[in-house]
Structure 1
Amino acid sequence: MSKVSESRIDVFSDAGRRVQVAREWIQAYSPDTEVLVLAHSAEAASDLQMSVVNSTGSWFGMKRFTLNVLAARLAQHALADSGRAPASNLSFTAVVARAIHSLQSEGKLSYFEPVATRPGFPVAVARTLEELRMNEVDVDSIARLERGGKDLAAIANLVEQQLQESKLNDRAALFRAAIDSINSPENTPYVGLPILFLDVATRSRLETRLIQELAAPSPRVLATMPKGDERTIAAFEAALGCKRNHAAGDHDASSTSLSFAKQHLFENSAPPVTPLDASVTIQNWPGEPRECVEIVRSIQAQAAEGVPFDQMAVLLNSPGEYRSHLEEAFSRAEIPAYFVRGTTAPDPAGRAMLALLACAADGLSAKRFAEYLSLGQVPAPEANKDVESKWVAPNDELIAGATEAESEAVTELVGSSAVAKPEDAAVVDGALRAPARWERLLVDSAVIGGKERWIRRLEGLANEFRLRMEEAAPEDEARVGSIRKQIRDLDALQEYALPLIERLADLPARANWDEWLAHLRELAVNALRQPEGVMATLAELDPMSSVGPVDLYEVQLVLEARLHDLGVEPPKRRYGRVFIGPVDAARGLSFRSVFIPGLAERIFPRKIVEDPILPDVQRKDTELTTRRDQLEAERLALRIAVGAARERVYLSYPRIDVQQSRPRVPSFYALEALRAAEGKLPGFEEIASRAESTTRARLGWPAPKRPEAAIDEAEYDLALLANLVESSKEEATGAAHYLLTANTHLARALRARSRRWLRRWTPNDGLVDVDDLGRQSLAKHQFSARSFSATALQNYASCPYRFFLSAILRLDLRQEPAAIEAIDPLTRGSLFHETQFEVLTKLKAAGLLPLETGSLGKAFDLVDQELGRLAGDYEDRLAPAIPRVWQDGINSIRVDLREWLRRMADSDEGWIPDKFELSFGLSDRGPRESDPASVDDPVAIIGDLKLRGSIDMVERQGDRYRVTDHKTGKARAPKDTIVGGGRYLQPLLYALACQELLDGHVESGRLYYCTADGGYEERIVPLDEDNLPILNSVLIAIRQALADAFLPAAPDKDACTWCDFLAVCGAFEEKRTSMKPRDRLVQIKALRGLP
Structure 2
Amino acid sequence: MNRRIIVSADAESRLNAARDWIESYPADTELLVLANSNEAGNNLHLSLVASRGAAFGVKRLSLNVLASRLAQRKFSESGTTPATNLSFTAVVARSIHSLQSASKLKYFEPVAAKPGFTIAVARTLAELRMNEIGPKALKRLERGGKDLAAIATLVDEELTRAKLSDRSTLFQTAIASIESEENSSYIDLPILLLDLAIHSVLEQQLIQTLALRSPGVLATIPHGDENTTKALQTALKAATELSTNVGAVPTSLDYVKQHLFEDSAPNPSKLDSSVRLSNWPGEPRECIEIVRSIQTEAAQGVPFDQMAVLLNSPGEYRAHLDEAFARSDIPAYFVQGITSPDPAGRAMLALLACAADGLSAKRFAEYLSLGELPPPETPKDIESEWVASNDDLVQTAFNFEEPDVEPAPVPLPVADTEKSDVIDGALRTPARWERLIVDSAVIGGKDRWERRLNGLANEFTLRIQEAAPEEEALVESLRRQSRDLKALRDFALPLVERLSKLPTNASWGEWLAHLRELSVNALRNPEGVMATLADLEPMSTVGPVSLNEVQLVLDSRLRDLRVKPKTRQYGRVFVGPIDAVRGMSFQVVFVPGLAERVFPRKIVEDPILPDLQRNEIHPLLTTRGDQRDGERVALRLAVGSARERVYLSYPRIDVQQSRPRVPSFYALEALRAAEGELPGFEQVAA
Q: TM-score, normalised by structure 1?
A: 0.61
Using the TM superposition, give the Cα deviation of residue 332 of structure 1 relative to its aligned residue in structure 2, in angstroms.
1.4
**Cα deviation digits, residues 437-487 of structure 1 (max 9, x gap):** 456323333375323332222211111111122222445443332222211
- Of residues 178, 181, 184, the one that matches 1:182 is 178
Q: Which amino acid aligns with 1:509?
A: T
Instruction: Compute the displacement of 1:428 (Å).
Output: 5.9
1:619 counterpart SS class: helix
* Residue aligning to 1:449: 442
The answer as to whether partners of 1:338 and 1:571 remain within 8 angstroms in 2 is no
Match of 2:222 in 1: 226
Residue 381 of structure 1 is matched in structure 2 by 376
Equivalent in the alignment of 2:462: 467
Q: Letter of the aligned partner of 1:617 in structure 2? A: L
Q: Which runs of 5+ in 2 are unaligned?
A: none
1:647 to 636, 644, 647: 644
**Displacement of 1:182 after TM fit?**
0.7
Q: Is contact 1:10-1:224 (8 Å) kept? A: yes
Report the Cα offset of residue 571 of structure 1: 2.3
For residues 423 and 295 of structure 1, what CA distance do their matches in structure 2 show? 39
Would you say 1:147 and 2:143 are equivalent positions?
A: yes
CA RMSD in angstroms, aligned pairs only:
2.1
Tell me, yes or no, if structure 1 residue 162 matches structure 2 residue 158. Answer: yes
State the partner residue of 1:193: 189
**Structure 1 residues 121 and 415: alpha-carbon distance in aligned structure 2, compared to 1, 3 A threshold:** farther
- Confirm or deny that 1:66 pairs with 2:62: yes
1:201 and 1:241 mapped to 2: Cα distance? 17
Match of 2:419 among 410, 414, 429: 429
**In the alignment, does 2:597 pair up with 1:605?**
no
Structure 1 residue aligned with 2:110? 114
Alignment partner, residue 20 of structure 1: 16
Q: Report which stretch shifted further, 233-242 or 18-27.
A: 18-27
CA distance in structure 2 between the aligned counterparts of 1:96 and 1:179, rounded to whole angstroms: 25
SS in 2 for 1:685: helix
Distance 2:14 2:418 in 1: 60
Kept after mapping to 2: 8 A contact 1:212/1:240: yes
Matched, 1:213 2:209: yes
Residues 402-551 of structure 1 aligned to structure 2 (within 5 Å): 403-408=396-401, 429=419, 431-432=423-424, 434-435=426-427, 437=429, 440-446=432-438, 448-450=441-443, 451=445, 452-474=447-469, 476-551=471-546
SS of the counterpart of 1:384?
coil
Q: Which amino acid aligns with 1:659?
A: Q
Alpha carbons 2:428, 2:485 under 8 Å: kept: no
Contact 1:413–1:569, Cα closer than 8 Å, also in 2: no
Change (3 A) 1:427 1:539: farther
Corresponding residue to 1:42 among 30, 38, 43: 38
Are the structure 2 counterparts of residues 76 and 277 from structure 1 closer, same or farther at C-alpha, using a change threshold of 3 Å? same
Q: Out of 287, 294, 297, which is 2:289 matched to? A: 294
1:367 partner letter: K
Dislocated runs of 4+, deviation >6 Å = 409-416, 420-426
Structure 1 residue 130 corresponds to structure 2 residue 126? yes
Alignment of 1:569-718 (within 5 A): 569-621=564-616, 622=618, 623-689=620-686
CA distance in 1 between partners of 2:90 and 2:491 (Å) = 32
The offset of 1:618, in angstroms, is 0.3
Distance in 2 (alpha carbons) for counterparts of 1:606 and 1:428 = 54
| Contact residue 8 and residue 244 of structure 1 kept, 8 A | yes
Letter in 1 for 2:653: I
Measured after TM superposition, the shift of residue 215 of structure 1 is: 1.0
Partners of 1:605 and 1:649 in 2: CA distance: 18
1:1017-1056 deviation per Cα after TM superposition (whole angstroms, max 9, x unaligned): xxxxxxxxxxxxxxxxxxxxxxxxxxxxxxxxxxxxxxxx
Give the counterpart letter for 2:438 in structure 1: A
Show structure 1 runs of 5+ residues with no match. Answer: 690-1091
The aligned residue for residue 235 of structure 1 is 231
Q: Give the residue type in structure 1 aligned to 2:56.
A: F
Deviation at 1:254, TM superposition (A): 4.2
Q: 1:89 aligns with which of 85, 92, 98?
A: 85
Once the two structures are overlaid, the 10-residue window that deviates more, 19-28 or 664-673, is: 19-28
Alpha-carbon separation, structure 1, partners of 2:408 and 2:144: 46
1:143-186 per-residue CA deviation (whole Å, 9 max, x = no partner) reads 01001000000000000000000000000000000000011001
1:261 aligns with 2:256: yes
Distance 1:114 1:149 in 2: 16
Trace 1:359-378 onto structure 2 (pairs within 5 A): 359-378=354-373
Is the CA contact 2:589–2:638 (under 8 Å) kept in the aligned structure 1? yes
Alignment of 1:746-785 (within 5 A): none
| One-letter identity of the residue aligned with 2:144 | G
Per the TM alignment, residue 231 of structure 1 is displaced from its structure 2 partner at its CA by 0.3
Offset from partner CA, 1:762-808 (integer Å, 9 cap, x none): xxxxxxxxxxxxxxxxxxxxxxxxxxxxxxxxxxxxxxxxxxxxxxx
Aligned 8 A contact 1:283 1:653 in 2: yes
Pairing 1:352–2:342 present: no
CA contact (8 A) 1:343 1:581 kept: no
Change over 3 Å in CA distance of 1:427–1:610 after alignment to 2: farther
- Structure 2 SS opposite 1:225: strand
CA contact (8 A) 1:427 1:433 kept: no
- Cα offset for 1:96? 0.3
**Using the alignment, how far apart are the partners of 2:431 and 2:255 within structure 1?**
62
* Larger CA Rg, structure 1 vs 2: 1
For residues 823-838 of structure 1, what are the structure 2 equivalents within 5 Å?
Answer: none
Q: Distance in 2 between matches of 1:305 and 1:375?
A: 46
- TM-fit CA distance, 1:216: 1.0
Deviation at 1:412, TM superposition (A): 9.7
Q: What amino acid is aligned across from residue 545 of structure 2 in structure 1? A: V
Deviation for aligned residue 1:367: 2.4
SS at match of 1:620: helix
Distance 2:638 2:6 in 1: 18
Secondary structure class of the residue paired with 1:193: coil
Residue identity matched to 1:589: M
Q: Quote the offset at 1:427 in angstroms.
A: 5.5
Where do residues 915-994 of structure 1 align in structure 2 (5 Å cutoff)? none
Change (3 A) 1:667 1:567: same
Q: Which residue pairs with 1:306 in the alignment?
A: 301
Relative to structure 1, the CA distance from residue 482 to residue 508 in structure 2 (aligned partners, 3 Å threshold; closer, same or farther) is same
Change (3 A) 1:672 1:648: same
For 2:195 and 2:469, the matched residues in 1 are separated by 81
User: Does 1 or 2 have the higher relative contact order (CA < 8 Å, sep 6+)?
Assistant: 2
Residue-by-residue CA offset, 1:210-256 (whole Å, 9 max, x unaligned) = 0011111111111111101010011011111101113x335344411
* Counterpart-to-counterpart distance in 2, 1:199 and 1:377: 44
Distance in 1, matches of 2:216 and 2:336, equals: 31
Give the match for residue 319 of structure 1.
314
Specify the alignment match of 2:330 in structure 1: 335
The one-letter code of the counterpart of 1:449 is V
1:603-635 residue CA offsets vs partner (Å, 9 max, x unmatched): 000000111000000011511011000000000
Q: In structure 2, how many angstroms separate the alpha carbons of the residues matched to 1:384 and 1:22?
A: 52
Change (3 A) 1:253 1:109: farther
Amino acid at match of 1:640: L
Seen in structure 2, the aligned counterparts of structure 1 residues 353 and 269 have a Cα distance that, compared at 3 Å, is same
Aligned pair in 2 of structure 1 residues 517, 225: CA closer, same or farther (>3 Å)? same
Whether the 8 Å CA contact 2:276–2:647 is kept in 1: the answer is yes
Kindly indicate whether the alpha-carbon contact (under 8 Å) linking 1:381 and 1:426 is maintained by their aligned counterparts in 2.
no
